[in-house]
Amino acid sequence: MPNESLTQNVQEIDLLEGSDRELILRLHTPVGVGPFPVVLDLHGGAWCKGHIDDCSVRDDALAAAGIAAGALDFRDGASGYPTSNQDINYAVRWIKSNAVKLNIDADRIGLVGQSSGGHLAMLAAMRPKDARYVQIPCEGGMDA
């Protein structure tokens, strides 16, 4: 049961700021002493119609329980395989590279997904260094 006495900060971050496209992470961070563990939350939607708004209730509950949660607005199936996986892989590396600034524990990052988001989370976790998935350069490199 979430601890309703904890409050949270919610911010939308464009992980590709300055790029020709956006990759939005809606990050729910608990207020308090961190660094906090974080869960990257991947919406469902049959790989074609989900949205980060679908994650709000779950992410609010996680933040109330002391776990940061980030809903990622990754590219969907219309963009072709493996663009969703590239966005997810990049988001994990970006979070690790920016952990101190975000008050996140870079050693405690998890993935969760609903329906097709669960499938994408599984692929990302099983193949974090797959050359097809690390196509978006990250300041911290592939091992960030």
What pLDDT, on the 0 to 100 scale, is given for residue 6? 53
Residue 143 domain-assigned?
Answer: no
Residue 94 domain-assigned?
Answer: yes
Match 């493996």 to its residue by tokens: 82
Task: Name residues whose C-beta falls within 8 Å of residue 113's C-beta, 6 or more positions apart in sequence.
Answer: 41, 42, 43, 44, 119, 120, 121, 122
Residue 136 domain-assigned?
Answer: no
What pLDDT, on the 0 to 100 scale, is given for residue 140? 60
What pLDDT, on the 0 to 100 scale, is given for residue 79? 82
Residue 141 domain-assigned?
Answer: no
User: 117 vs 2, 41, 55, 82, CA distance in Å?
Assistant: 23, 8, 11, 14
Nearest partner of 2 among 43, 44, 57, 70, judged by Cα:
57
Number of domains the chain contains: 1
CA dihedral in degrees (42, 79, 97, 92; nearest 10)? 30
User: Residue 14's Cα: distance from chain center in Å?
Assistant: 12
The pTM score is 0.86
What pLDDT, on the 0 to 100 scale, is given for residue 91? 96
Residue 131 domain-assigned?
Answer: no
- Given pLDDT bands bounded at 50, 70 and 90, which one contains residue 45? low
Mean pLDDT of the chain: 87
What pLDDT, on the 0 to 100 scale, is given for residue 7? 67
Sequence length of the chain is 144
Residue 87 domain-assigned?
Answer: yes
CATH code, domain with 60:
3.40.50.1820
Residue 118 domain-assigned?
Answer: yes
Print the domain residue range for 100. 8-126
Dihedral of CA 138/48/111/55: which sign?
positive
Phi, psi dihedrals of residue 106, rounded to the nearest 5°: -65, -15
Residue 134 domain-assigned?
Answer: no
Q: pLDDT digit string (tens) for 78-99?
A: 788 888 899 999 999 999 999 9
What percentage of the chain exceeds 70 in pLDDT? 88
Q: pLDDT digit string (tens) for 102-139?
A: 999 999 999 999 898 888 999 999 988 787 778 776 77
